[in-house]
Structure 1
Amino acid sequence: MSSSTHAPARTDIATALGELLFSPESDLHEVADRHFAPGYRQRTDGAWADRAGFLEHIAHLRTVVAEGSVEVHEELTDGTLYADRHTVRATKKDGSTVRMEVYLFGEFAPDGRFLRIEETTLMLDGDPADRNLGSAR
């Protein structure tokens, strides 16, 4: 009798960001636990944050963003490595809008959650004061 092994289901950036940013009724820590490993680290535009700093950033964005979407243009996985190019569109609670293109490289933990993400953001539309929205706390 042979036993089959299944690779754990992997998260992806559209699902993770959609649940984190655009489902404010969901518990931030429960959503983070679904998509990000305990040792998660992120570098955005050159600045590193550990998991606690990342969650602080997301908690801040939840106070600023009313709704939005993530559109993935290109996505690639190779073993535990992940890369994509996506656009985040957000309407802030003050009614203004922001659109940012993101170039992302990441790594999955063995359980399929993100272990590391390094990204660079490009402001496409929005107030220049929102340029740091990708790392604001």
Structure 2
Amino acid sequence: MGSPFSGAPGDDLIGYLTRYPHELTFGHEDPAAVFGRYHTDDFVLCNDGVPLDRERLLAHAKAGRRNATRIDVQVHDALAAGGKVAARYTLTALMRRGQVIATEIHMFGELSPDGRLRRVEQLSRDVSDQDPGPAQPPA
């Protein structure tokens, strides 16, 4: 299924990294529709060695919709070339009970011909207790 949407990760990786979490968590659109705009139907995210398919990721989105009140994404580095993407960014979520969860993510992905993500391998670490320091613009 191709999409005429020009904000696909292959066209605008930084836009995807910052826009997608907001659309998925706080948008009024069905999470499956948001997911499909940016990812292929057979998309798999392997996070810290754990594979997550579309259904598991949509279940995670439902929990996010219930529990998160704010999400901020700071992109440190991003590159898209030759059907591949790579990024280093920090995603910070404020939860309803006041907890702040900050995660540093190193992402490496493969794109489909229409620019959507087909597969992502990522490593993440909790940086919630670290001083974020000054904001760094993406390279």
- Is TM > 0.5 for Structure 1 vs Structure 2? yes
Larger Rg: 1
Matching of residue 15 in structure 1 with residue 19 in structure 2: yes
Q: Which runs of 5+ in 2 are unaligned?
A: 10-15, 130-139
Match for residue 54 of structure 1 among 54, 57, 67: 57
Identity of aligned residues (%): 27
AA aligned opposite 1:87: T
- For the aligned residue pairs, the C-alpha RMSD in angstroms reads 1.8
Matched ranges for 1:6-85 at <5 A: 9=6, 10-11=8-9, 12-21=16-25, 23-85=26-88
Mapped contact 1:24–1:62 kept (Cα < 8 A): no
Question: Size of the alignment, in residue pairs?
Answer: 119
Q: CA deviation at 1:99?
A: 1.0
TM-score for the superposition, normalised by structure 2: 0.78
- Unpaired runs of 5+ residues, structure 1, are 1-7, 127-137
Q: Which amino acid aligns with 1:66?
A: T
SS of 1:121's partner is strand
| Deviant stretches of 4+, over 6 Å | none
Please give the alpha-carbon distance, in whole angstroms, between the structure 2 residues aligned to 1:85 and 1:66: 23
Deviation readout 1:32-84 (Å, 9 max, x if unpaired): 11111111001111100111111112222222211111111100112110000
TM (normalized to structure 1)? 0.79
SS, match of residue 26 in structure 1: coil
Q: How does 1:101-120 map to 2 (within 5 A)?
A: 101-120=104-123
1:14 is paired with a residue whose SS is: helix
